[in-house]
Structure 1
Amino acid sequence: MARIENHKYSIEEAFRECFYVVPDYQREYVWSDKEVQQLLDDINDQVDVSSDMEYFVGMILVSPGARKNQFEVIDGQQRLTTFFLLLCAMRHRFKSSPQHYQLVNELISTSYATKTGDIETSLKLDPRYENASELMKCLVEQDDVPQKVSAAVQSSGIPRFGSLDNLLNAYGTIYRYLEDNYEDEKELKKLWGFLANNVVFIQISTDVSSALKIFETINERGVGLNPMDLLKNLLFTNVKLGEFTKLKNEWKKITGPLEKGKEKPLRFLRYFLMANYKITNKDSIVREDQIYDWFVDKENAKLCGYTQEPFVFVRKIIRNVEQYLDFAEGRGNDGKSNTPMENLKKLCGGAFSLHYVLLLAVSNLPKPLFDHFVQQLESFLFYYIFTKTPTKELERSFSQWADELRAVAELTDEKEQRQKLNEFIENRFQASMTSKGKELHDALKRYTIRSMQQYRTRYLLAKLTQHVDMAYKGVKTPGSLHEYTVLEMEHILPNNPEADLRQSFTTQNPNCDYDEYKVRLGNFTLLEKPINIVASNGFFDDKKAEYKKCKHYLTSSIVELTEVGKNSSITRINEKLKPFTDWTAAGIDERQEMLAELVKDVWKTSLIEVS
């Protein structure tokens, strides 16, 4: 490792002697009002404690730049940038005190002669990422209150987003803090004296490669940075200095889409690892706080290959991000709209995402096999979600199953690939569903509208209604669920009954609670909105005529069955259904049992043809 130098600087000494450059490959300014306010409060609390006591604000890690006294900031730029903005705000507040104004101004920028004799001005802190340098120059040149600085930035055409907004917001927070806490010039000068003399940090300087390795070491437990930041830095230690910008641009293809899709980066990283690599610890899973430790393990580093071919590794992550986001939007492994994936999304919603581990593992399957797998996965997950099985019980299995599925996806012989996929479906999905069968049936017999999120109850009724329609019409391949999920969820026993209806139910069912039975699954059906409006909150006898008008057979069959021929698709589905002449507690129980039995026909596994 190259020579390492360290120096203790006060804020005044640092910005007088050094020029700081935040290179474009580093993390941008991410501090919010909360972090800025906390730093200011911490300093404010110390101002009156002792005029001799130093206040230590941490370590800054830098690498020497191209010019004398110029340093690239490797770690600590959030604090340095905040202190620089504090100097800018204090300078404007010192406009009525020329000496103080000039002194602080010299810490913000300075002019110097180039080799050709020209005069150039440089900021003492220059952020080089995405228009940040232009924004900072505008802020410094404007030298004004936050509102006018913001207006100047806007009129200059500098785009405002993300970190650039963070910079302007931080300047505004600092300026208002000074106004609120240091309105008196004497108190402001006291603060300046404390900053100039007492607020100190240790600056460690070495070459870029060594600095990045130090950065990795001091953050190896994730202190202050999450595993995504640490992984990024780890990759920078394995590329040449001239490739930093290239790697930064590739890395944005990972973080940018995840941020835009509002997906959690650490959750993605967990699933990426379990989907793509064999996890050899005793639990076979990687928790968020284990991600970085997993990457720096020598065997895992060799497995990933990021030390030898960092760009190949990054492109692998990029491909997985693209697939992950497609899956989250209900698209297939070809990036296009996909009915099985849309159905899976309706089942899982935003509350369940562990299945991405398996989807990423099979993402390279041919489309017919991928779609078939998704259909089987939907049935499997239905059993686990509707029995409210804890996710942690699935994590280990999914991580291990991903190893098996990767092996299937890598097969080149089509027949063998189909055979192995069928074996997986039988041994993993079907076997697990069989063991859960009784538990699911019991859960469905007790199911009420409160048992699950409403979107899942709607999904359950939509799939059942679609299945009955398909059986009625003799259709084999299900289409989109959309026409079913937009239907109204009808309370057959009304949710808000008239007093005489409630009294009638209580009289007919003396030991049954109306409010309990109105929320049971057996009391619900799907109905077109116009019909639902007409059906209203009346008695069952008054609703029968409206139910018969419904084009969906699961609803119309509540009133009567259609008899067509012998051993037809209609007569076969009729064996699973039951009409009702009146609507009692016993009838609701009976219909609930009927729906629970139908579930077995809807959510089941099938094997794909091999020959």
Structure 2
Amino acid sequence: MEISPDKQNIDRVFSNTTYYIDFYQRQYKWNQEPVERLLEDVFYRFNEEFKLYENSDIPLEQLISKYGWYYLNTYVTNLVDGKIYIVDGQQRLTTITLILIKLKQQAEGYSSVLTDWIKNKITGHSGFKKEFWMNHENHKPCMQGLLDGLPYDKIDVSTGITAQNMLANFQVISKWLDKELLDKDKFETFVFFFLNRLVLINLNVDQTDVPMVFEVINDRGVKLKPYEILKGKLLGQIDKDELKVLELNEVWEHQVIKVNSYWEDEIDEFFTYFLKAKLADTRAVAQKFDNEYHRVMFEDEYDKVLKLKHNEKGVKSFLVNDFVYYTNLYSRIYESIRVYNEAQCYIYFNSLTDMNTQFLLILSACKINDSDEDEKIRIISRSLDRMFCLLQLQRSYNSNLFAVEIYKLSSKIREKSIPEILKAFDDSLLQLLSDARGIQVENVFNYSFFKETGIELDKRFKRYFFARIEKFIADNTNMNMKHSLYDLVQNTGWKNGFHIEHILSYNDDNYQLFNNDEELFERERNRLGGLLLLKGADNISSNNESYKKKLKSYSNTLYWNETLREDSYKSKLDFTNMIKKYALTFRPIDVFGPEELEERHKLLFEMVKIIWN
């Protein structure tokens, strides 16, 4: 590998070279902090030198050589078909260009003879055309607007985040230079210092070495996101003319922006899930992709499947097929999390319980342009919710065993048919129940497993459980939910949040119902049949009251709570039809003791079998 280092000041960097932004470079993402840090460093060095020589009689062009030089870092380029591309350093060079534009404006304000010198550091002629030396081809309207001194609200930033950051950072630079360079003498001294004494090192590398150099630079401090490095590794294999014709950079950027619109740098999460879905059969293998997927995926073992290493044809196929299809699929899943969709409601349900493994499983099961995509999404999200909930409700959930099984399951359903997917989920659920109970379990519903379930469940899951009970009643009685699923599960504020309520409070009357056996009383009152979901204020107001007083407070709360009250059964045909349809033992309960608690617990189990059948 040939690397040619060259020490250059800014006067030389921007003299006769047009710099094109390579596909390895991310957008211009510097914000106020790194811009101010650069300005602070530069002006600290300049002001120290300026104080030393402020009253010198030596002509400025000679005096400037006495100023110490300041190292601005390294930038990396490569030459392709007569064009110089920036491989690394675009953020710094773009910021320097913005500083030069501001200096040009100040020079004009001071009527300085240095104006033309500064202008020539911003733009110049390349062949027949006048170009910005930093050639942000897609964002020239913004750069030209800044150069022309247009009002900020008239500058075109519609081309994207690069233009938006240019405008924002120029305003930071403008305020800083207006504060520092208050007179013509100091201004012109700074121009000489800036153009002659600020130094960068240029490293020119061969095209074939660019991806490797780019990653090494990143490892040594210029931290990029894994997907930004992966972009370089993939697009770097394709001829630049073909990249332009096929618009592969545009394809990449469009899909990245689409996925990142859901969460900052969400595209890294996508790649992690995608690679695990297609390559990992075990949890141990999956963990390899957690931090440095952009490296691991090129290992020989995995490249046998992906075929992306030193394979221009494979990369082109991956970008226009796999990458586009699976990022669109990922976005579909995310959209159903963001906005409740009854047709794909289980995706939303899983998000309430943080079952993000639905991304993994859906990506695994779907093949490119899968004709069964809609049904696979529905079945997988529903089956995952079912498996998770039935394990929780039957006291058989172990987070480590569950995580291990998920990757086995992902392997079993990878690009498989719907019947195979359904069987794989059932097999996994029975296996996890059997492992937890130490016996061979043949039925996914076992009341003996459910009988003691209650307060020990995770707080959010308990809220989720009662929210699903509430939705079941609402759906089957043609009533609207009184509160959204999100509010029931996620809203935990002191006043308006939802909390678990014990029907049986600590008082002598309730102890007597359990023969004053405090241990028995505590165990029984904590079962799901003895619990409700109440809004914060209602929960507090019921406190340690007797059951009869509590019963009054359950009016106009949630439907499940209200089924304890007699007035919930009067002239309600839809409610009666639901009871008959499912043979459910709903009835009003005036006295709540051990038998009634057991009755309600069994009633919940019957609804569990319907909801998660």
Question: Which residue does 2:468 correspond to in 1?
Answer: 463
Name the aligned partner's letter for residue 253 of structure 1: H
Deviations 1:422-467 (A, max 9, x none): 54223312322455589987663345xxx534xx655422322454
Distance 2:405 2:126 in 1: 65
The answer to whether the 8 Å contact 1:10/1:197 transfers is yes
Deviations 1:565-600 (A, max 9, x none): xxx98479676556421568x799768845764575
SS at match of 1:60: strand
Query: Residue 14 of structure 1: CA displacement?
Result: 0.8
Question: Which residue does 1:145 correspond to in 2?
Answer: none
The counterpart of 1:108, out of the listed 113, 116, 122, is 122
The answer to whether the 8 Å contact 1:441/1:596 transfers is no
Question: Which residue does 2:424 correspond to in 1?
Answer: 424
Name the aligned partner's letter for residue 297 of structure 2: F
Query: Residue 187 of structure 1: CA displacement?
Result: 4.6
Query: Residue 291 of structure 1: CA displacement?
Result: 0.9
The counterpart of 1:322, out of the listed 328, 335, 354, is 328
The answer to whether the 8 Å contact 2:340/2:348 transfers is no
Distance 1:388 1:83 in 2: 61
Deviations 1:470-521 (A, max 9, x none): 8x88xxxxx9x9747549979xxx989xxxxx9x9867568999xxx99998
Question: Which residue does 2:34 correspond to in 1?
Answer: 35
Identity %: 16
Question: Which residue does 2:255 correspond to in 1?
Answer: 254
CA 1:243–1:434: 2 relative to 1, 3 Å: same
Distance 1:539 1:281 in 2: 51
- Say whether 1:555 aligns with 2:555: no
Name the aligned partner's letter for residue 42 of structure 2: I
The answer to whether the 8 Å contact 2:275/2:297 transfers is no
SS at match of 1:72: strand
Task: Supply the RMSD in Å over aligned alpha carbons.
Answer: 4.8
Name the aligned partner's letter for residue 90 of structure 1: L
Matches within 5 A, 1:440-455: 444-446=454-456, 452-453=459-460
Matches within 5 A, 1:84-483: 84-94=97-107, 95-96=109-110, 98-111=112-125, 114=128, 120-129=129-138, 132-142=139-149, 148-154=150-156, 159=158, 161-219=160-218, 223-245=222-244, 246-262=247-263, 264-278=266-280, 282-306=284-308, 307=311, 308-314=313-319, 315-330=321-336, 339=343, 341-349=344-352, 351-364=354-367, 366=372, 368=375, 371-382=378-389, 394-406=402-414, 408-409=416-417, 418=419, 420-433=420-433, 435=435, 444-446=454-456, 452-453=459-460, 459-467=464-472, 483=481
Distance 1:399 1:184 in 2: 68
Matches within 5 A, 1:480-495: 483=481, 486=484
CA 1:241–1:554: 2 relative to 1, 3 Å: same
Question: Which residue does 1:476 correspond to in 2?
Answer: none
Deviations 1:236-257 (A, max 9, x none): 1221121223210221232021
CA 1:444–1:189: 2 relative to 1, 3 Å: farther
Name the aligned partner's letter for residue 251 of structure 1: W
The answer to whether the 8 Å contact 2:46/2:190 transfers is yes
Query: Residue 52 of structure 1: CA displacement?
Result: 5.4
Query: Residue 169 of structure 1: CA displacement?
Result: 0.6
Name the aligned partner's letter for residue 319 of structure 1: Y
Query: Residue 561 of structure 1: CA displacement?
Result: 9.4
Distance 1:549 1:122 in 2: 71
The answer to whether the 8 Å contact 1:18/1:124 transfers is yes
Name the aligned partner's letter for residue 311 of structure 1: K
TM-score, normalisation: structure 1: 0.73
Distance 2:453 2:186 in 1: 68
Structure 2 gaps of 5+ residues are 50-65, 438-447, 497-502
Question: Which residue does 1:60 correspond to in 2?
Answer: 75
Name the aligned partner's letter for residue 252 of structure 2: W
Deviations 1:48-77 (A, max 9, x none): 56765443332212233666xx62222211
Query: Residue 87 of structure 1: CA displacement?
Result: 1.0
CA 1:350–1:457: 2 relative to 1, 3 Å: closer
Matches within 5 A, 1:64-79: 64=79, 71-79=84-92
Name the aligned partner's letter for residue 153 of structure 1: I
Query: Residue 92 of structure 1: CA displacement?
Result: 1.7
SS at match of 2:349: helix
Structure 1 gaps of 5+ residues are 115-119, 143-147, 410-416, 474-478, 497-501, 607-611
Name the aligned partner's letter for residue 381 of structure 2: V
Deviations 1:514-546 (A, max 9, x none): xxx99998453689xxxx9xx999997588699
Distance 1:221 1:443 in 2: 53
Distance 2:450 2:560 in 1: 25
Moved more, 371-380 or 51-60: 51-60
The answer to whether the 8 Å contact 1:547/1:556 transfers is no
Matches within 5 A, 1:480-559: 483=481, 486=484, 508=509, 522-524=530-532, 555-559=562-566
CA 1:100–1:465: 2 relative to 1, 3 Å: same
Name the aligned partner's letter for residue 381 of structure 1: F
The answer to whether the 8 Å contact 2:388/2:397 transfers is no
The answer to whether the 8 Å contact 1:212/1:236 transfers is no
Distance 2:43 2:398 in 1: 48
Query: Residue 128 of structure 1: CA displacement?
Result: 1.3
CA 1:382–1:99: 2 relative to 1, 3 Å: farther
TM-score, normalisation: structure 2: 0.73
